[in-house]
């Protein structure tokens, strides 16, 4: 076990993890209707394989693409395809989606052939992961089979158990309750990429989970896997920050983790790999955190993809008070929503229903050049300078401050004493300077 590493910069916002971290996993019953967007991942959208009025069974592949950087979509309930039409999307605003309604007739779920990974080659394992539609469940949604096909040699694998976003505890509960399954999924990835070193990166505020990890690694004889205790600091779970803290390597500007021989996967993704290979189960449901002080029932729930937010709110008993803001993901990097008619997708790690007291609603004022945003920036760029250039549409000047290196963690906006929305300026700078 290694102790207390970190990265330059970062902030210490209230975590609010106590709202959900001690609640055991719970399953929300299948809804009467799901809406499955054809784009739930990075890359090309999937194309429908079914038509309206067609009966489908849970787990059936209903959309796919012949493009390599894409992922198939599977039915999350059994029923009838009622239509294929545009609908709300939590990230894109609108997208084409397949609507499935439960008609009371439930064809049997036919899993993939369950396999013993010891009998499979790395290409065969990657094919199963691809067919199961697995993507990064930390939010980015990059297809996992592509990530496992690095163009450069990988010598270090990191299981990201940091989960640094405030409120979110879905990975913590999953690893606390399903450690054997997660580690079996990790062994599959180890077999595919054959790294020399394997680490589990976890923040030091998860003491019970650290104990669970150590006990189960010992029980399974996985002595090659080392636990790396990290200082609790946001954004410790960012890929580049995690790699820097654990290996000392710096991912170059414009580069990716494989440029420094490293691969990072989060807990939910590795668990999905286990389910695909050992259980023959495609990715049609996941664990998400429901939290915030506006919702009556909080916790970590297994939810079918395509479940509408309105069905989740009903299951959770409605609101204690009207939420001031609804966010998909964490409060730092999540995306605000305008409608409860929005579906859960593969990249949804949590949904927050926040009250006035949980939000800072002060109006922004002029930059006072205090430099706090520069001190906390984990990428060591100059958010204030990009913001000032953007404010006057001087995008050629903004480009000089490397906005494309920004990971949009929101640390600069959080620390700014004049409440400037620096992340928004940087997002605009990225669009104008690519």
Question: 5, 16, 4: which is closest to 359 by C-alpha?
Answer: 16
Residue 152 is predicted with a pLDDT of 94
Residue 4 is predicted with a pLDDT of 63
| Structure tokens given for 152 | 């450069």
To the nearest 10°, report the CA torsion of 272, 276, 279, 283: 60
Residue 321: pLDDT band (50, 70, 90) is very high
Long-range pairs for 338-341: beta carbons < 8 A, 24 or more residues apart: 339/88, 339/309, 340/308, 340/309, 340/310, 340/313, 341/87, 341/88, 341/308, 341/309, 341/310
Rounded (5°) CA angle 310-315-316 = 95
**How far apart are the C-alpha atoms of 276 and 269, rounded to whole Å?**
11
Residue 105 is predicted with a pLDDT of 72
Distances from the Cα of 169 to the Cα of 24, 93, 135, 312, angstroms: 11, 26, 19, 17
Q: What is the DSSP string of 277-290?
A: HHH---S-EEEEEE
Residue 371 is predicted with a pLDDT of 94
- What is the tens place of the pLDDT at every residue in 106-153? 666 666 666 677 889 999 999 999 999 999 998 778 999 999 999 999
Total-model pTM: 0.94
Sorted by sequence, the CB contacts under 8 Å of residue 203 that are 6+ apart come out as 162, 163, 164, 229, 230, 231, 232, 233, 236
Residue 2 is predicted with a pLDDT of 59
Sorted by sequence, the CB contacts under 8 Å of residue 256 that are 6+ apart come out as none
Return the exposure string of 34-59: e unless at least 16 CB atoms fall within 10 Å of the residue's CB, then b: bbbbbbbbbbbbbebebeeeeebbbb
Distances from the Cα of 130 to the Cα of 3, 61, 104, 146, 282, angstroms: 35, 12, 30, 8, 9
- What is the tens place of the pLDDT at every residue in 147-186? 999 999 999 999 999 999 999 999 999 999 999 999 999 9
**How far apart are the C-alpha atoms of 307 and 173, rounded to whole Å?**
21
Residue 360: pLDDT band (50, 70, 90) is confident
Across residues 17-32, what is the average pLDDT?
96
**How far apart are the C-alpha atoms of 239 and 260, rounded to whole Å?**
12
**How far apart are the C-alpha atoms of 354 and 145, rounded to whole Å?**
36
Question: 434, 332, 345, 424: which is closest to 378 by C-alpha?
Answer: 332
- What is the tens place of the pLDDT at every residue in 223-236? 889 999 999 999 99
Lateral strand order in the sheet of 26-27? 26-27, 299-304, 285-291, 350-354, 325-328, 335-337
**pLDDT greater than 60 at residue 51:** yes
Across residues 306-321, what is the average pLDDT?
97
Residue 23 is predicted with a pLDDT of 94
Question: 3, 15, 17: which is closest to 235 by C-alpha?
Answer: 15
Residue 1: pLDDT band (50, 70, 90) is low
- Unique residue bearing structure tokens 């030091």: 204
Sorted by sequence, the CB contacts under 8 Å of residue 52 that are 6+ apart come out as 81, 82, 83, 84
3-class DSSP state for residue 310?
helix
Residue 7: pLDDT band (50, 70, 90) is confident
- What is the tens place of the pLDDT at every residue in 243-294? 999 999 999 988 999 999 999 999 999 999 999 999 999 999 999 999 999 9
**How far apart are the C-alpha atoms of 340 and 322, rounded to whole Å?**
13
What does pLDDT average to over the chain? 93
**How far apart are the C-alpha atoms of 308 and 317, rounded to whole Å?**
15
| Structure tokens given for 122 | 């790395």
């Amino acid at each position: 076990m290694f102790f207390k590493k970190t990265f330059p910069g970062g902030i210490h916002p209230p975590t609010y993890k106590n709202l959900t971290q001690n609640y055991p996993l719970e399953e929300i019953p299948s809804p009467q209707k799901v809406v499955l967007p054809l784009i739930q991942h990075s890359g090309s959208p999937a194309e429908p394989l079914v038509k309206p009025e067609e009966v489908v069974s849970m787990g059936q592949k209903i959309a796919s693409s012949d493009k390599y950087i894409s992922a198939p979509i599977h039915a999350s309930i059994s029923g009838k395809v009622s239509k294929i039409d545009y609908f709300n999307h939590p990230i894109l605003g609108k997208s084409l989606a397949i609507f499935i309604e439960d008609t009371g007739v439930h064809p049997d779920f036919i899993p993939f052939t369950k396999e013993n990974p010891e009998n499979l080659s790395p290409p065969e394992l990657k094919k199963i992961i691809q067919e199961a539609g697995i993507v990064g469940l930390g939010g980015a949604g990059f297809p996992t089979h592509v990530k496992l096909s690095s163009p450069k040699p990988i010598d270090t694998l990191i299981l990201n158990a940091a989960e640094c976003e405030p409120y979110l505890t879905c990975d913590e509960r999953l690893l606390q309750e399903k450690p054997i399954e997660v580690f079996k999924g990790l062994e599959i990835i180890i077999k595919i990429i054959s790294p020399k070193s394997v680490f589990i990166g976890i923040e030091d505020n998860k003491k019970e989970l650290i104990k669970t990890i150590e006990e189960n690694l010992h029980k399974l004889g996985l002595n090659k896997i080392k636990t790396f205790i990290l200082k609790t600091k946001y954004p410790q779970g960012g890929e580049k920050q995690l790699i820097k803290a654990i290996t000392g390597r710096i991912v170059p500007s414009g580069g990716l983790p494989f440029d420094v021989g490293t691969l990072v996967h989060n807990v939910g993704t590795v668990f999905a790999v286990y389910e695909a290979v050992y259980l023959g189960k495609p990715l049609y449901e996941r664990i998400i955190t429901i939290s915030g002080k506006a919702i009556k029932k909080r916790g970590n729930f297994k939810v079918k993809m395509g479940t509408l937010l309105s069905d989740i709110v009903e299951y959770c008993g409605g609101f204690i008070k009207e939420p001031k803001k609804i966010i998909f993901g964490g409060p730092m990097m999540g995306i605000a929503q305008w409608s409860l008619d929005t579906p859960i997708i593969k990249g949804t790690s949590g949904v927050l229903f926040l009250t006035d007291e949980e939000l800072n609603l002060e109006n922004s004022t002029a930059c006072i050049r205090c430099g706090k945003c520069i001190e906390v920036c984990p990428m060591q760029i100059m958010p204030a300078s990009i913001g000032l250039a953007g404010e006057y549409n001087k995008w050629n000047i903004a480009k000089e401050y490397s906005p494309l290196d920004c990971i949009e963690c929101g640390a600069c906006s959080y620390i700014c004493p004049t409440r400037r929305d620096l992340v928004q300026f940087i997002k605009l700078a990225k669009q104008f300077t690519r």
